[in-house]
Structure 1
Amino acid sequence: MFSRLFVFLIIFLSLQLQAAEDRKDNPLYKALPSIQSSVEELFNYTPEEKGFVVEEFRKSLAKNWVPTEENFFQDPAVILAEKRFVRFCQNKEKEKPTIPKLIHFIWMGSPPPDSVYISMDSWKKHHPDWEIKLWTDTEIELFNWTSDRSKLVFQSGKNWAEKSDILRFEILYQYGGIYSDTDVVCVNSFENLICKEISFFAGFESNKIKRFGRPLIGSAVIGAKKNSPVIMRCIDFTKSSEEEPTVHQHLRSGPGPITKASYEALELKAEDVLLLPCSYLYPLPWEMRLADVREIIGTIQKETLALHLWEGSWFDFYHPPKQVLP
């Protein structure tokens, strides 16, 4: 375990050096002091209270490093998400969850590095009796796609991230469970979250609208029942947006489809769809991804369930063209 943590620390520091120049020129980045600390702290973090902890929707959003944008709550879907979250927090747990106790990871193109197993270990720590599945090239080669079109979208993906976007939706649709990116660290149990009346959950990436016209829903952590209609809509949106190569990748795959699909479900008054405010799944803002480990730990709140480290070096977020969700 120590060797894995050491390798992860090297990877993490390499990412910091690689993006140092970009950080200097990025006006969104908040300068942080350099603190000598060890990455073990992140993986040995112990939550104050086990499981899902209720925090007010707007207070959760306000814990981001910048104030919530004034027009954030002008989006009708955000208001629906807030009302649904309030009702969810009042619900009682049921005996058998709709979302199965199964956690999926994807790694393609090369043998999984130790950092992948560190992420998996963090989930296993808080879910010792859950099944954990790592999808690699071997399993994917035998994967039974829902349609030839989905398989074609996967095969034509421009990078591993795009390929994993369509694959994560296909896996969740066919098996159900929780999908996690391999740069996510689990810091608390999802047990009593899925034991309430939900068939799908995801989380707001931040308290900002960014450059895409609507608050985005993240795709780094997604929970869904088998045959989820929301996930099927994600698959549909991914297949249709693949035909528009000029569309920014963040809209064409990942957050784009899941934002549209989950907002659509809320607008159709789906009572089993839950969108968590950002401190639950995305307490670390993208702009702080280069921070010292101890500063990163400082973003974890009592209600935080998982922490996305934003390791996607392929992501062209610094200078993308401004585009809006349709």
Structure 2
Amino acid sequence: MIPKKVHYIWLGRGQKSNLSHICINSWKEKLSEFEICEWNEDNLDLDAIASENRFFAECRKRKLWAYMTDYIRLLVLYREGGIYLDTDVQVLKSFDPLLEHSCFFGKEAKEYIGTGMIACEPGNSVIKKVLDFYQDDIWESPLFTIPSIITHILNNTDLADTVAVYPMEYFAPYDPWKPYDENCITKNTYCVHWFQANWIDNPGLRRFLSVKHIKNPVVKSAKIVKSEIGAIFRRLKLR
């Protein structure tokens, strides 16, 4: 059974937004029996995590907070179990009916598993498989966002049968690419992911993620140049 713990991560010591406060208050109201744990620089040994995982270390060096939290959420869930929530996820009702699962996710789009809400028992085999991907496979793969990585693993292993995957209406009914429609929230909706970007990463620093798997230095340089040119044209187009 999934323990009654909610985990969230707050790195960088910045101020929380009004939306974050609204969402965290919704957890306290709707999940009153749950322990709520904030993970930050004071209770995480970031040096130890960086020494154990090169991808995390490279993201930390570049202050790519969002990608650091991707790894930390998996680590915390694997060790402690519970429910991970992004700070822009508003809870509408208790997760109690779902806690009998060993692990559950929700779709964020037709193609992708959402990761603003992840729930599992401690030591879950799916979460372990994702952690293993971050250890080695990530350097051989073009994937670097956590939704694409988890989707890839569930689509390419026999572990998919061990988890529950719910439709978008359960945990991420709101589509940020479309005008908001209040009808997206149904009787099945447990929470809403509002997709607020708490970290705005420097695109130049983030480009290393898109070329990390390329071994040929000439090809890698060409891809970086192409990316830089594309960014310039996008900026000119916005003027």
TM bucket normalised to smaller: 0.7 to 0.9
What is the match of residue 164 of structure 1? 69
CA distance in 1, matches of 2:44, 2:28: 23
What stretches of structure 1 of length at least 5 have no aligned partner?
A: 1-97, 208-214, 321-326
- After superposition, give the CA deviation of every residue in 1:41-65 in whole Å (9 maximum; x if it has no partner): xxxxxxxxxxxxxxxxxxxxxxxxx
Residue 124 of structure 1, aligned match among 9, 28, 46: 28
CA distance in 2, matches of 1:229, 1:177: 14
Shift of 1:241: 4.7
Residue 105 of structure 2, aligned match among 184, 187, 202: 202
Is structure 2 residue 205 aligned with structure 1 residue 301?
no
CA distance in 2, matches of 1:219, 1:285: 14
Shift of 1:219: 1.0
CA distance in 2, matches of 1:286, 1:236: 31
Residue 261 of structure 1, aligned match among 153, 166, 173: 153
CA distance in 2, matches of 1:141, 1:121: 27
**Contact 1:231–1:261 (Cα < 8 Å) also in 2:** no
CA distance in 2, matches of 1:286, 1:240: 32
Residue 57 of structure 2, aligned match among 134, 155, 164: 155
TM-score, normalised by the number of residues in structure 2: 0.74
| Counterpart code for 1:170 | L
What stretches of structure 2 of length at least 5 have no aligned partner?
A: 208-239
Is structure 2 residue 195 aligned with structure 1 residue 310?
yes
Change (3 A) 1:141 1:116: farther
- After superposition, give the CA deviation of every residue in 1:136-185 in whole Å (9 maximum; x if it has no partner): 1111236865x9433x3222114111100011100100010000111111
Shift of 1:302: 1.1
Structure with the larger helix share: 2
CA distance in 1, matches of 2:48, 2:6: 19
Change (3 A) 1:239 1:280: same
Shift of 1:230: 0.4
- Secondary structure of the corresponding residue to residue 140 of structure 1: coil
Is structure 2 residue 123 aligned with structure 1 residue 220?
no
| Counterpart code for 1:306 | C
What is the match of residue 8 of structure 2? 105
Change (3 A) 1:111 1:224: same
**Contact 2:51–2:57 (Cα < 8 Å) also in 1:** no
**Contact 2:154–2:160 (Cα < 8 Å) also in 1:** no
CA distance in 2, matches of 1:280, 1:133: 23
- Secondary structure of the corresponding residue to residue 136 of structure 2: helix
After superposing the two structures, state which structure 1 stretch, 155-164 or 174-183, moved more. 155-164
**Contact 1:166–1:253 (Cα < 8 Å) also in 2:** no
Change (3 A) 1:253 1:240: farther
Task: Identify the structure with bigger relative contact order (alpha carbons < 8 Å, sequence gap 6+).
Answer: 1
Residue 282 of structure 1, aligned match among 164, 168, 172: 172
| Counterpart code for 2:150 | I
CA distance in 1, matches of 2:160, 2:83: 23
TM-score, normalised by the number of residues in structure 1: 0.55
CA distance in 1, matches of 2:129, 2:186: 32
CA distance in 2, matches of 1:117, 1:106: 14
| Counterpart code for 1:189 | S
Change (3 A) 1:269 1:170: closer
**Contact 2:82–2:119 (Cα < 8 Å) also in 1:** yes
Change (3 A) 1:174 1:282: same
Shift of 1:135: 0.7
**Contact 1:183–1:310 (Cα < 8 Å) also in 2:** yes
What is the match of residue 183 of structure 1? 88
Identical amino acids, percent of aligned pairs: 29
CA RMSD of aligned residues (A): 2.7
Change (3 A) 1:269 1:232: closer
